[in-house]
Every structure is written in structure tokens, then in C-alpha cells.
């Protein structure tokens, strides 16, 4: 993976000093909170309900074991012994003291990490495919391009105070695993007919209160022009994006207002002036970065390991785990194993300090000391020998990290919600937990098969509810927490935005709502049809009719307003 050279080290070191001084000036009231807030946000420090939250950048989701051990150390020394992986492949800590935040950054710098631009109205951490470099369906490894974008976007002087936050995702495989269609910019690394590498460029995708899928504005951008073209997009957005209304400020609103064709034309016009300028990438620079992403020292192994096949046939638990949590690898005899952070009873994406140390050990012993974070909030060991999968499974299981539920009902994407986040209208984690408990039976989950259940505690959609096959959105009604359900959303190559099925439900009704939706699916499905395919074939109506057919016992409504 990428390693800092003296320039990266210098820039991050100077950042820590700059931020430390900003904190000092805030504590001595030289900076008022209104001035400081925007500065700390550009450094990933949010003020939440109970304490500060610090979001640390995990560039395109890639981690070395020594960095994961640093997270464990931070969790113990500065937090309450755990951290939370996010839907943008970052990690956040929820119980941070402002005074200590500069020290955390200094510690992070020792393992080549930082929290630069993990929040604020600037270009955020670029996200990518968690199977980059190992996926069997990969066309071009996106990681070198992701790193080049990281460097270009870090402290870009012109684009630090954009109308709103700006997120880029990049994918280089047949299957889009980076949710590129719901990003401000989505890049697909592709090859043209001549075999040259370039990008298909989507802009204006996003979630929040106006969910929109990105529009293609260029079908092939030669890779050398990546930086100048991004600069052109950002300059158009910086000048013309709305600043009068926070809910209308994302680039998607601008693209929608003037139309993708007109937006593309403006970008093109802007680009003509800077195209072929000094920002044009060179073969040498690409090679410098690509050298960091060469394949590890794989052994020559048979495509199928006999002992592994035997264990898979004998041990149903192992077979279940293989079926859901192990992905195909481009190198014979290897596999990518997903460690589930969605064990029932644990908030999705949460991980304890001991588990962090443990997964770092697993990475050292099984996967060339590297880990990846998925935007579904799980972890991946990307280079495991097939022959060692059984041993890995046993160990992971003993630490609660082998729930065989990847892509299943309980592999819920969920934001921190009202338990932590001051933006939230409703709690999201307890809903995820109630659903996970209700459908804990793994055989039932395997029977239901592929399904994406996404939960957001507010319209900001950090839990990606718009693109969940079942999406749940927490809403506030007269001071009480209610949940709106949508159906038919999807991410990946056939992305779509879900449709709301009707009036919202109380927290207590939610497990039954999910149960009824699943009953309709089981009745309607044809053979191996996935949930999303059934919804697309029969439409939302049969689901809606059954869910609202008879009243569901409401139980105690949470968040009652006693004054009402």
C-alpha cells in the first residue's frame, strides 16, 4: 500500500502543528466558536450530543496492521475502548476531548494517517472498491488513481470552502462496489478499444433529501487528464453551486438545475484552458504511485485445495461463512475474507480495541499485514490462502467476527443515529438491533438471501437508506421518533432510488414491518430470485398492501413528548 515519503510526512506534520495552534487559540478565546467550528470540521472534529467525535481518514479504505493497532491505542487512551467504521470507509471515535485532539493527530501521523478533510465543505476522502487489486472482475486497479486524487485534493487552496461537502468514489471493476452513482463525482476506470486507460465520469449523484443518481458527463477521459478535469468540475461548482440554502447546495442540485449536458459543456469550456497544462499526469508519476500497489508475494497454489473442500463439505457453519463472507480472488488458491462487524447485539460498524488488535494480528498472520474497510462497514482480509480459511474462520468466530451474514438481512448499513449524532431525528442503532434480534436465525437469513437493509437516522442519509432494497429513515413527528420505509433501492451497476411505501411506523412496529415485507417476498419469489428482483418484477403494491393490511401493535412509542 501507499507509504509516505518526506513530502507527505512534512505536510501532515505541518498540519498537526497548524491544528494544535488553532485549538490553543480556541481554548484561549482568540478564536470564537463560529470561526473555529469550520476549522475543526475540516479536520474531522464534530461536536456531538455527548462529546466530540473525531473522524479519521482511511484513504480509499486501505489499512496496514500497524495503523489498526494505532486505532486500538486511540480507542483505549482517548476514547471508551471502541471505534466505529463508517459508510465512507473511515473510522470515527465518539468520546473525544478537544484538548486531546491534537495529540491524537500527532500519534496518527506516526503511522501515516490524519483526519484532513474528513468533514466540512471540502473534498472528502476518496472511497473505492474494497476488493481493489484482488477482485476477479477487475478491469484496472483503481488504487493508484485514488492516491493521486488524495494528493491533488489535500489542501487544494481553491476548493476548501465549497458550497457543500464533496465526495468522490472510484471503481475499476465490472461490478461497482464503491456506490459511485450516489457520489458527487463517480469515476469508473476503464479501457477503451485501443486498450488505453481512462475514466467514465459521473457527476451529481447523491443522497440526502434529494436522492439522485449521477449523470455521465464523459464516456472516456484519458487518465493523464484526471486532475485538470476534476479541477474544471470543481471550479464550475465552486462558482455556481448554490450557497443560499444548505439543502440545495450539493453539486447534484446544480447539475439537475442546468441539466447534465449544460453542466458538461461548462466543464468542457473550463477544461480547455487547463487541459495539457502542468497538472497533466506523467507516466513517471503514475509509476511512482503504482509501485506501492504491486501484488504481494503470492505463492503458486492449486486453484482448489482438497482439505479446504473437505472441511467445507463437513462443517456447515464453515460452509455458510464461505458462502457469504468469502469472495473470489484473481490469484488461484487465494480468497478475500470479510470479517463481519454486524454481529447481532452490536451496533453495525462498531469494533472494540481488543478486536482491533486482534484483526491486526489476523492481517499479519493471514493477509500480508493489510486490511480494507468496506462501505458496508465490514473489514476485509484480501489475500488469504484458501488452505488457511478454516483456521482463520475458527479464530474470527472466537472473537465474534465471523457472523456469516455478508449481504444478508442482518448485514445492515446503519448510521450512528440519535444515540450519538446531533443531526439525527431518530435513533437508528436500536432499530438495527431489534431487526437483527428478530431475524437472528442464520438459516432463515440464508434462505432470504441477498438483501440490503439500510437505516439512516435523518435525511442526511449517512446510512444510505435511499439505495437499500429496504430503506428505513428516521423522522421526527411532533417530537416522537418514527420510521419511514422505502422499497426497491439498490447500489452497484443497477443503482436505483427506493420508493416510500406509505405512512411511517413506530420503532416497536419495525421488526413486524420487515417480517411482513419478507413474507410477501417469500410468497412472490420465483426460484432463486433475489429480493430486489422480486420487488422490481411485481412492484411495490403487493408489499404495501400486505404491510398495511392489518394494524401492527405499536407498543410504546419512543421519544414521547410529555408536554404535548
Partner 1 sequence: MQPRSKLVMSLEKTSVPNSTHIIKDKVVISDDWTVLRLNEGETPEGVAVPEGKIIVPLKVWQAQRATLQGRQELGVWFASDERPEALKDDLAPFKVIAVDFPKFADGRGYSIAYNLRARLGYTGELRAIGDVLRDQLFYMQRVGFNAFAVRADKDIHDALKGLTDFSEKYQTSWDEKNPLFRRAKRETVVTRD
Residues in touch with partner 1 (CB under 8 A) = 3-5, 7, 10-11, 14-15, 18, 22, 30, 35, 38-39, 64, 66, 121, 151-152, 154-163, 227, 235, 238-239, 243, 273, 277-279, 281-282, 284-285, 288, 291-292, 294, 296, 368-369
Q: Distance (Å, rounded) from C-alpha 294 to C-alpha 547? A: 51
Q: Which is nearer to partner 1, 132 or 162 (CB)?
A: 162
Among residues 166 and 390, whose Cβ is nearest to partner 1? 166
Give the CB-side neighbour count of residue 429, counting CA atoms within 13 A.
16
Q: Which of 459, 437, 442 is nearest to 397 (CA)?
A: 442
Dist. CA 551–CA 445, nearest whole Å: 25
Instruction: Identify which of residues 296 and 542 has a Cβ nearer to partner 1 in the complex.
Output: 296
Residue 28 vs 300, nearer CB to partner 1:
28
H or E segment and range at residue 530: none
- Which segments of 65-189 does DSSP mark as H helices, in order? 65-78, 101-109, 143-153
The residue (of 235 and 464) whose beta carbon lies closer to partner 1 is: 235
Give how far Cα 526 sits from Cα of 142, 151, 520, Å: 37, 49, 12
| φ, ψ dihedrals at 12, nearest 5° | -70, -40
**Based on CB atoms, which residue is closest to partner 1, 233 or 436?**
233
For residue 7, how many other CB atoms are within 10 A of its CB? 9
Rounded to the nearest whole angstrom, what is the least distance from the CB of residue 21 to partner 1 in the complex?
Answer: 8
3-state secondary structure of 467: helix
431 neighbors 506 (Cβ within 8 angstroms): no
CB of 271 to partner 1, least distance (A): 13
Closest to partner 1 by CB, 227 vs 429, is 227
Whole-number minimum distance, CB 86 to partner 1, in Å? 24
Q: How far is the CB of 284 from partner 1 (least distance, A)?
A: 8
**Nearest distance, CB of residue 276 and partner 1, angstroms:** 13
**249 in helix, strand or coil?**
coil
Nearer to partner 1, 12 or 487 (CB): 12
Torsion of the alpha carbons at 267, 270, 275 and 279, rounded to the nearest 10: -90
Cα 444 from chain centre: 27
As measured in angstroms, the least distance from the Cβ of 151 to partner 1 is 4
Contact of 264 with 221, CB cutoff 8 Å: no
Shortest Å distance, C-beta 483 to partner 1: 34
467-491 per-residue burial string, b: 16 or more CB within 10 A, e: under 16: bbbbbbbbeebeebbbbbbbbbbbb
Cβ nearer to partner 1, comparing 95 with 152: 152
Q: Which helix (H) or strand (E) element contains residue 38?
A: helix 33-41
Question: CB of residue 238 vs partner 1: minimum separation in angstroms?
Answer: 5
The three-state secondary structure class of 250 is coil
Place of cell 493521486: 148
Taking the least distance from each CB to partner 1, the nearer of 5 and 527 is 5
Residue 86 near residue 55 (C-beta atoms within 8 A): yes
Residue 443 Cβ vs partner 1, minimum distance, rounded to whole Å: 41
Q: Provide the minimum distance between the beta carbon of 291 and partner 1 in the complex, in angstroms, as a whole number.
A: 4
Strand partners, 476: 481
Amino acid at each position: 500500500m501507499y507509504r509516505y515519503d518526506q513530502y507527505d510526512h512534512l505536510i501532515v506534520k505541518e498540519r498537526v502543528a497548524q491544528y494544535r495552534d488553532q485549538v490553543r487559540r480556541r481554548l484561549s478565546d482568540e478564536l470564537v466558536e463560529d470561526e473555529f467550528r469550520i476549522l475543526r470540521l475540516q479536520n474531522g472534529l464534530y461536536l456531538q450530543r455527548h462529546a466530540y467525535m473525531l473522524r479519521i481518514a482511511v484513504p480509499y479504505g486501505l489499512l496496514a496492521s500497524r495503523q489498526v493497532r494505532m486505532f486500538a491505542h486511540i480507542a483505549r487512551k482517548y476514547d471508551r475502548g471502541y471505534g466505529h467504521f463508517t459508510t465512507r470507509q473511515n473510522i470515527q471515535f465518539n468520546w473525544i476531548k478537544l484538548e486531546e485532539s491534537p495529540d491524537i493527530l500527532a500519534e496518527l501521523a506516526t503511522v501515516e494517517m490524519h483526519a484532513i478533510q474528513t468533514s466540512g465543505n471540502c473534498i472528502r476522502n476518496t472511497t473505492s472498491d474494497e476488493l481493489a487489486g484482488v477482485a476477479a472482475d477487475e478491469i484496472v486497479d483503481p488504487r493508484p488513481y485514488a492516491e493521486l486524487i488524495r494528493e491533488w485534493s489535500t489542501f487544494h487552496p481553491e476548493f476548501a470552502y465549497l458550497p457543500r461537502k464533496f465526495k468522490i468514489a472510484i471503481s475499476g471493476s465490472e461490478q461497482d462496489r464503491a456506490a459511485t452513482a450516489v457520489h458527487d463525482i463517480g469515476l469508473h476506470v476503464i479501457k477503451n478499444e485501443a486498450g488505453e486507460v481512462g475514466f467514465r465520469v459521473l457527476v451529481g449523484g447523491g443522497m440526502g433529501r434529494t436522492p439522485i443518481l449521477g449523470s455521465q458527463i464523459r464516456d472516456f477521459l484519458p487518465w493523464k487528464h484526471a486532475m485538470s478535469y476534476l479541477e474544471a468540475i470543481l471550479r464550475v461548482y465552486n462558482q455556481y453551486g448554490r450557497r443560499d440554502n444548505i439543502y440545495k447546495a450539493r453539486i447534484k442540485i446544480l447539475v439537475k438545475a442546468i441539466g447534465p449536458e449544460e453542466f458538461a459543456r461548462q466543464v468542457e469550456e473550463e477544461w480547455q484552458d487547463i487541459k495539457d497544462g502542468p497538472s497533466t499526469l506523467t507516466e513517471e508519476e503514475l509509476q511512482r504511485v503504482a509501485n506501492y500497489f504491486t501484488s504481494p508475494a503470492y505463492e503458486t497454489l492449486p486453484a482448489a485445495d482438497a482439505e479446504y473442500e473437505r472441511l467445507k463439505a463437513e462443517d456447515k457453519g464453515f460452509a455458510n461463512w464461505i458462502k457469504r463472507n468469502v469472495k473470489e480472488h484473481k490469484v488461484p488458491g487465494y480468497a478475500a475474507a470479510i470479517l463481519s462487524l454486524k454481529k447481532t447485539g452490536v451496533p453495525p460498524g462498531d469494533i472494540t480495541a481488543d478486536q482491533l488488535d486482534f484483526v491486526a494480528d489476523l492481517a499479519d498472520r493471514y493477509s500480508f499485514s493489510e486490511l480494507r474497510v468496506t462501505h458496508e462497514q465490514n473489514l476485509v482480509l484480501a489475500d488469504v490462502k484458501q488452505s488457511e480459511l478454516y483456521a482463520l474462520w475458527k479464530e474470527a468466530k472466537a472473537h465474534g467476527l465471523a457472523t456469516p451474514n455478508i449481504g444478508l438481512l442482518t448485514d445492515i448499513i446503519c448510521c450512528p443515529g440519535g444515540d450519538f449524532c446531533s443531526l439525527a431525528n431518530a435513533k437508528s442503532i436500536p432499530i438495527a438491533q431489534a431487526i437483527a434480534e428478530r431475524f437472528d436465525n442464520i438459516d432463515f437469513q440464508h434462505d432470504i438471501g441477498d438483501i440490503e437493509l439500510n437505516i439512516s437516522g435523518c435525511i442526511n442519509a449517512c446510512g444510505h437508506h435511499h439505495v437499500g432494497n429496504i430503506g428505513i429513515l428516521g423522522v421526527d413527528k411532533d417530537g416522537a421518533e418514527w420510521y419511514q420505509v422505502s422499497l426497491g433501492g439498490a447500489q452497484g451497476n443497477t443503482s436505483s432510488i427506493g420508493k416510500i411505501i406509505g405512512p411511517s411506523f413506530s420503532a416497536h412496529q419495525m421488526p413486524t414491518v420487515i417480517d411482513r415485507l419478507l413474507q410477501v417476498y417469500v410468497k412472490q419469489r420465483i426460484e432463486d430470485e433475489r429480493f430486489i428482483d422480486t420487488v422490481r418484477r411485481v412492484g411495490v403494491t403487493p408489499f404495501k398492501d400486505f404491510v398495511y393490511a392489518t394494524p401492527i401493535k405499536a407498543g410504546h412509542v419512543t421519544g414521547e413528548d410529555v408536554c404535548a
